[in-house]
Amino acid sequence: MNSYNILLVDDEPSILNALYRTLQKEKYQIMMANSGEEALNILGETTIHLIISDQKMPGLTGVDFFKIVKEKHPEIIRILLTGCSDLESAISAINYGNIYKYIAKPWDNQDLKITIQHGLEHFQLIEENRNLFELTQKQNLELIELNKNLEDKVIERTRELALKNDELQNVYDELKKNFIEMIRAFSGVIEMRNPILGFHSRRVAALAKSVALKMKLSKDEVLQLEIAGILHDIGKIGIQDSLLNNSNNSLSEKDVKMLENHPIVGQACVQTISNLEKVGLIIRSHHEKFDGTGFPDKLKGNSIPMGSRIIAVADKFDRLTNSRNLRKCLSEKEAVTALKNSAGSELDPMIVNQFLGFFEILKTDSKEINERVIGIKEMREGMILSRDIFTASKILLIAKDEVIKDSYIRKIENFNEIDPIAGAIYIYASPTENYNQEIKENKDDNPQNTQAIIG
Report the mean per-residue pLDDT for the chain: 82
Per-residue confidence (pLDDT) for residue 452, from 0 to 100? 33
Peptide bond into 13 cis (omega under 30): no
In sequence order, the 6+-apart residues with CB closer than 8 A to the CB of 446 are none
Q: In the chain, which residues fall in CATH 1.10.3210.10? A: 194-367
Per-residue pLDDT at 198: 64
The candidate with the shortest Cα–Cα distance to 108, out of 78, 81, 90, 89, is 81
The answer as to CATH 3.10.150.10 being correct for domain 4-129 is no
Q: Which of 174-183, 204-213, 251-260, 420-429 has the lowest average pLDDT? A: 174-183
Question: Is the pLDDT confidence value at 435 over 50?
Answer: no
What's residue 298's pLDDT?
A: 95
Q: What is the pLDDT of residue 310?
A: 96
Asked if the 194-367 domain carries CATH number 2.40.110.10, the reply is: no
The per-residue pLDDT for range 135-162, each reduced to its tens digit, is 999 999 988 888 888 888 888 888 888 8
**Fold adopted by 369-455:** Molybdopterin biosynthesis moea protein, domain 2 (3.90.105)
More confident residue, 397 or 5: 5
Give per-residue pLDDT as tens, 285-324: 999 999 999 999 999 999 999 999 999 999 999 888 876 5
Q: Higher pLDDT residue, 17 or 392?
A: 17
The contacts of residue 128 (CB under 8 Å, 6+ apart) are: none
pLDDT at 89: 63
DSSP one-letter string for 207-243: HHHHHHHHTT--HHHHHHHHHHHHHTTGGGTTS-HHH
What is the tens place of the pLDDT at every residue in 417-429? 777 787 778 888 7
pLDDT for the residue numbered 21: 93
CA distance linking residue 162 with residue 45, whole number of Å? 62
Query: Residue 454 — very low, low, confident or very high, per pLDDT cuts 50/70/90?
Result: very low
CB 79, CB 51: distance < 8 Å: yes
Which DSSP helix (H) or strand (E) runs through 79?
Answer: strand 77-82
**% of the chain exceeding 90 in pLDDT:** 37
CATH 3.40.50.2300 intervals, the chain: 4-129
Q: How far is CA 171 from CA 168, 180, 223, 296, 365, in A?
A: 5, 14, 18, 39, 36
Beta bridge partners of 30: 6
Is the pTM above the cut of 0.75? Answer: no
pLDDT score of 411: 80
Cis peptide before 349 (omega within 30 of 0): no
> With bands split at pLDDT 50, 70 and 90, how would you rate the model's confidence at 8?
very high
Lowest-pLDDT choice from 48-62, 213-227, 321-335: 321-335
Q: Please name the helix (run of DSSP H) or strand (run of DSSP E) that holds residue 103, with its range, or none.
A: strand 101-104
The answer to whether 6 and 46 are in contact (CB under 8 A) is no
* Among 251-265, 268-282, 289-303, 363-377, the least confident range: 363-377
